[in-house]
């Protein structure tokens, strides 16, 4: 073999090695680029997931606070309703006692003048008491219906 042929073979081997090294270097650079890109995407998705989880927890805390406030209001309304019922029952007992007394006085003194003014005043006070209780119950029922409607709409939106 001549020197020219040996040089040509050596240049061919050198060229093949240079092409192989270039291909391997390109592969490494590309792989590192895509690994870094995938790592950034994974990090961004994990941050987005974490933010969504935090938002869900905040919504749960807000919902729990709303439910607790509604339950507290229901207790207050039922307590108020109980007090109004107690007042109504007391008023009815007083009215029954006054009616019984007025009836016994009317039968005892049939010839005496009529005391219809006292009965009219008693009936007026009873009507006022019934109106107060009815207004309180109506207001409480309206407020409770509002709570229920809001809670149902929140549950439907979930």
Element (H, E) at 153: helix 116-157
> How many domains does one find in the chain?
1
Q: What is the pLDDT of residues 10-53, one digit of tens each?
A: 999 999 999 999 999 999 999 999 999 999 999 999 999 999 99
Q: Which residues contact 70 (CB under 8 A, 6 or more apart)?
A: 147, 151
Domain enclosing residue 150, as ranges:
3-157
Structure tokens, 90: 């007391």
Confidence of residue 113 (pLDDT cuts 50, 70, 90): low
Q: pLDDT tens digits for 55-72?
A: 999 999 999 999 999 888
Q: What span, in angstroms and rounded, lies between the C-alpha atoms of 138 and 144?
A: 10
């Amino acid at each position: 073999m001549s020197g020219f042929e040996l040089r040509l073979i050596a240049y061919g081997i050198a060229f093949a090695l240079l092409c192989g090294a270039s291909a391997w270097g390109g592969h490494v650079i590309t792989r590192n680029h895509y690994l870094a890109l995938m790592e950034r995407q994974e990090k961004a998705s994990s941050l987005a997931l974490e933010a969504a989880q935090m938002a869900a927890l905040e919504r749960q805390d807000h919902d729990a606070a709303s439910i607790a406030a509604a339950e507290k209001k229901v207790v207050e309304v039922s307590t108020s309703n109980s007090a109004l019922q107690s007042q109504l029952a007391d008023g009815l007992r007083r009215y029954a006692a006054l009616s019984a007394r007025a009836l016994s006085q009317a039968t005892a003194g049939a010839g005496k003048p009529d005391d219809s003014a006292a009965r009219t005043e008693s009936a007026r006070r009873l009507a006022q008491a019934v109106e107060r209780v009815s207004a309180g119950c109506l207001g409480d029922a309206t407020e409770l219906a509002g709570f229920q409607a809001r809670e149902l709409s929140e549950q439907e939106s979930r």
